[in-house]
Amino acid sequence: MSTSLKTIFLAIGAFIGLSVIAAIALLVFLDANAFKPRFEAAVSDVFGMEVKVGGRLGVDFFPNLRVTLEDVRIRNRGTEVAAARKARIGIDFLTLRHKRVRVEAIALEHPRVFIERDHDGTFNFEQSAAARGMLPDLDLAKISLSGGTFRYADKQSGRGFEADDCSLDVSRLQLTDRNRPGIMKNLSFTAEAACGAIRTRGYAASGLRFSVAGQRGVFDLKPVTMRVFDGSGSGSIRANFTGAVPLYHVRYSLSAFHIEAFLKHLAQQKVAEGPMDFSANLSMQGKTVNGLRQSAQGQISLRGKHLILNGRDLDRAFARYESSQNFNFVDVAALLLAGPAGLAVTKGYNFASNFQGSEGRSEIRTLVSDWKVERGVAQAQDVAMATKQNRVALKGRLDLVNERFDDVTVALIDTRGCVKAQQTIQGAFKQPVVEKPGAITSLTGPAVTLLKQVRHLFPGGVCEVFYAGSVASPK
């Protein structure tokens, strides 16, 4: 989420930059096209980037004084950073008598922003300290854009996203105190933003909308709403840039999303189906993805009822485990892990394919996956699910920083919450391993011998309770 938030601010900054270019045009000329080379050179010096106006540059006086730029492009180190098909700048005519320019309104048509972070962490828009110091103070009453597109690519992590059909309405934008380091610390504005579609490598969202209110480095985005996995998402974000390290507080809930939509990219067949609810309340600080993970703390929850798991009858498999000893609890655990770690956990083990081609189906009457996050480690608080006849529970930790399982145990439990059979998972998310008596077997297929089978010598005797959470035993 942090990467998305930062890039949103970068996009807004790029759109503002395109608008400032048009305002500077008035300082250089009034008879536009004859002075285009002078304009391009002046703006390039200010921004420390190559600026070109490929189309018409003109000044209109009716109904109000307005500067129009067509086909504006900004390049840095040989790469295009931003472009706009057209920019219209409204000017207060009276200020020209005093050789000053006061921008009243800015409208951008079909702006495009391309942000890229290379392998050493440098963004394609970064400039020298001298160029940043020349950024002029801004005091703009209104900025609007329509039909915008945004592309972000991070070569360090291989991640990125695209946003299309974006609109933005900004009011009372101020950028002051240039001697104070950091653009975000000196920026104030209110805004309404929306994007019709957002896509990552594996997922898509639609209908993104949010409001922003910020003053001198503290920004509140609320509400933030969108449609994800056929569910309705809503939340808020507070971003504080006043300190040496940015601080973020994220609250988010995704109601009634469809697990089949979440798992669609993992398998062609419908592995599971049914509605689920996800929520997160997290605080993070840092300048990098790894730094944000290391500082993450808060709560994460995934819950669902009356889910259908296709391809395997779990109750039948549990009933036969004593004789066959050929069942993999990790397949089941992956459903419980999808909440706190998402693809970080499941990408290394394609559990979805292990249910395809098998016979039967299972009803998961209740699924609860509640986690507490501290310093980038998710600790299971209440993690279990119940079928018609059985319960499976999970304990342990997920190291989200180093992407490793930390003593994760998945157990089939009886009515008292005591262990009937269990497996312990260790190792990296990409290459998890399951421990069993006398050996460690890598997860290379859909079937893994059970780690440990616990037999009670006396029915109803004393046992160590493994699970005492909210998921009740089937009757």
pLDDT in tens, 314-350: 888 888 765 545 566 666 666 676 554 554 455 545 5
pLDDT 10s digits, 166-181: 999 999 887 776 555 6
> What's the confidence (pLDDT) of residue 449?
35
433: number of Cβ within 10 Å: 16
Q: Looking at per-residue confidence, does 354 or 228 come out higher?
A: 228
pLDDT at 438 over 60: no
- Of 19-23, 49-53, 466-470, the one with minimum mean pLDDT is 19-23
What span, in angstroms and rounded, lies between the C-alpha atoms of 185 and 471? 47
**Confidence class for position 375, pLDDT limits 50, 70, 90:** very high
pLDDT at 180: 57
Cα Rg of the chain (Å, integer): 28
What pLDDT does 445 receive?
A: 37
Under 8 Å CB-to-CB from 37, ≥6 apart: which residues?
Answer: none
As a whole number, mean pLDDT of residues 452-475 equals: 69
Q: How many CB atoms lie within 10 A of CB 77?
A: 13
Structure tokens at 31: 């008879």
Confidence of residue 54 (pLDDT cuts 50, 70, 90): confident
- Separation in Å, CA 32 to CA 39, 56, 57, 64, 65: 9, 9, 6, 17, 14
Distance CA 84, CA 109 (A): 6
Mean pLDDT of 34-48: 65
Provide the 8-state DSSP code for 347: T
Write b or e for each residue in 274-297: b if 16 or more Cβ atoms lie within 10 A of its Cβ, otherwise e.
Answer: bbbbbbbbbebbbeeeebbbbbbe
State the first-to-last Cα distance of the chain, in angstroms, to the nearest integer: 41
Angle of CA points 186, 189, 190, to nearest 5°: 155
Q: What b/e sequence results for 5-39 when a residue is b if at least 16 CB atoms lie within 10 Å of its CB, and e otherwise?
A: bbbbbbbbbbbbbbbbbbbbbbeebeebeeebeeb
Of the candidates 374, 391, 360, the residue with the CA atom closest to the CA atom of residue 300: 374
State the pLDDT at residue 248.
95
The secondary structure of residue 350, as a DSSP letter, is -
Residues 16, 22: Cα–Cα separation, whole Å: 10
pLDDT at 431: 79
Distance CA 413, CA 473 (A): 9
Mean pLDDT of the chain: 78
Return the percentage of the chain with pLDDT > 70, whole number. 68
Report for 26-30, 72-76, 162-166, 359-363: range of highest mean pLDDT: 162-166
Q: What is the DSSP letter of 418?
A: B
Beta partners for 236? 251
Angle in degrees, 0-180, between the axes of helices 36-47 and 2-28, rounded to the nearest 10: 140
Max mean pLDDT range (138-142, 211-215, 431-435): 211-215
> Mean pLDDT throughout 367-396?
94
